[in-house]
Structure 1
């Protein structure tokens, strides 16, 4: 199973449920740090037992965690969608913003998403200027 895809699926399913990493860790009987490593695709050799625990906690089958149902199943928060429309941001930029590993607070308003985008735009846009 591809660790990056597993991480994307675990993150997406966890966010759909509105759970924190700690809540998922408690449900799956693993540490919050391990959940974080899995979501970032950094956990190597994840056992079937752990995958099964995650699947049960998230209410999906283990195979659902390893498969991409569409090229990108990203849930775009409404404030980020509004920023994208206001600033005519490409899907690629939005996808990068949504998938940035964050510790702590996640942006909740258009202003917070704009501040994050402004801070990292030179890195995610490559040679383009913001």
Structure 2
């Protein structure tokens, strides 16, 4: 099974960045230390539903939005899971300019 903690953490990070929030700002809004937000985003924190609700409130989104990731990742690519997780974890460590470069490179190679 795909690591739900990694997927939810990536979703939290995506929404946080879309809203222009730092980990510290999200932590202040949600009542957590920024280090906890970081561990959540890396998929290291086994977050409770109660705490996830606080994070959703801090992000000003409905909690279900934290679970709305690609169904392709969750259903049809189970045999690809280890590779997808490894790639996602590597990509999560990158800043936006580097992600843009990766996107260009992948499009050149595979399109």
Q: Do the two structures share a fold, i.e. TM-score over 0.5?
A: yes
SS class of match (1:30): coil
Q: Aligned partners of 1:55, 1:107: CA distance in 2, in Å?
A: 23
Deviations 1:5-24 (A, max 9, x none): 11011000000011110000
SS where residue 43 of structure 1 aligns? coil
The correspondence of residues 30-45 of structure 1 with structure 2, limited to 5 A, is 30-44=32-46
What is the TM-score normalised by the length of structure 2? 0.63
- Partner SS, residue 68 of structure 2: coil
User: What's the CA shift for 1:66?
Assistant: 1.7
Provide the residue aligned with 2:23 in structure 1: 21
Alignment match, 2:51: 50
CA root-mean-square deviation: 3.0
What is the CA distance between 1:63 and its match in structure 2?
1.5
Structure 1 position 97, deviation (Å): 9.6
- Counterparts of 2:40 and 2:65, CA distance in 1: 15
Preserved contact between residue 5 and residue 67 of structure 1 (Cα < 8 Å)? no
Aligned to 1:100: 92
Say if 1:55 and 1:62, in contact at 8 Å, map to a contact too: yes
- Which of the two has greater helix per residue? 2
Structure 2, unaligned runs of 5 or more: 74-83, 103-111
- List structure 1 segments (4+ residues) > 3 angstroms apart after TM superposition: 69-72, 95-98
Higher RCO, Cα 8 Å, sep 6+: 2
